Amino acid sequence: MIQFFVEDVSFDPQILQSVPDWLILVAEQHNQSISSISYIFCSDDYLLQVNRDYLNHDYYTDIITFDNRDGSTHPLESDIFISTERVQENAQILKVDFLNELLRIIVHGVLHLLGFDDHSESSKLQMRNLEDEYVAIYFSQFHIQ
């Protein structure tokens, strides 16, 4: 089950109605399944506080992914916090539309759950390539106009 929640921002998750089917496909392509993922869309300040409270990090970020599984072989179970303000800013910097950048961030969290990281330049490149591939799949197979 994939659910969307909104905290302290004006955001309509209706634009994401086909995202659950897309993410199920992403997980299946990595021989995984999804038990439960909750996306919480929030402000920069809200996510900064989550970062401080739970990770002891004192900086802004676009996404924080909490892996709630007992082990990596279990179906994906997570709470994923996304700052829509940061996504909007990143979209402007990258000169892409908001939905494109939002999808990239959404799948980024799932890729972390699937075992990918972005700690080195080569792993960042691998994640970026996968994000681009999956966003293209979304727009070709799942996007509802």
SS3 135: helix
The encoded tokens of residue 135 equal 């966003």
pLDDT reading at 145 higher than 70: no
Integer Cα distance of 23 and 32 in angstroms: 11
DSSP-derived letter for residue 13 is G
Specify the pTM.
0.94
Kindly list the structural domains of the chain, giving each domain's residue range(s) and its CATH number in brackets, ordered by start: 2-142 (3.40.390.30)
Structure confidence at residue 119 as a pLDDT band (50, 70, 90): confident
Q: What confidence tens digit (pLDDT) does each residue in 58-75 have?
A: 999 999 999 999 887 899
